[in-house]
Structure 1
Amino acid sequence: MKVKSAISILMISGGLLFSAVGHAGHHAEHFLLSEKAAKKLNLTQAQQDKIATIVEQKKASMKALKMTRHNNKDAFKALIENDYFDEQQARALIAKSSDAKNDLLLAKLRSKQQIWQVLTAEQRAKMEKLKQRKAHRHTK
Structure 2
Amino acid sequence: MQYKNNLKCEYTIETKSEAINLRFLDFVLETGRPDCKFDNLTIAGKTFPGSYVYTRNTYCGDNSPESVRMRGTVILTFMTDRWVTKRGFKLEYKDDSCGETITEETVIEKKPTKQLEGGSYRYYQPKIKCIWNITAPANQIVVLQ
| TM-score w.r.t. length of structure 1 | 0.28
